[in-house]
Amino acid sequence: MNQPQTLRRGEGPLESRKKLLIAESELNRAQLVQEWQTMTDEAHALVNQARTLRSLASAAAILINGVASLRRKKSAPTAEKPSWLQTIVKGAGLISTVWQTFRWQNREQK
């Protein structure tokens, strides 16, 4: 920034006013830069919060979908009960899907 100009004796009122206006302009410019930086920081924080919320909502949707899928399959009339091995395999598939989603979202945030 420019060096502040000092008022001198014997200067006319217009020169004094000009120097004061220049000094005020420099102060306003510095304040604008500071406010812009604050606004930028807040925007970044808001974006990070939105990403976190999106990740949580996505994981919750996958979990709800998986549970609903398991419930639909259970409530469908079947001639015989599925074996415990089939139940374990389906559960492992659901856990794997949820795990992969969490890992993908963590990579996306970095």
pLDDT in tens, 20-78: 999 999 999 999 999 999 999 999 999 988 888 888 887 788 878 877 777 776 555 55
| DSSP string over 6-57 | PP-TT--HHHHHHHHHHHHHHHHHHHHHHHHHHHHHHHHHHHHHHHHHHHHH
C-alpha 62/C-alpha 56 separation (Å) is: 10
Tokens 């659901």 label which residue?
A: 94
Give residue 105's pLDDT band: very low, low, confident or very high (50, 70, 90).
low
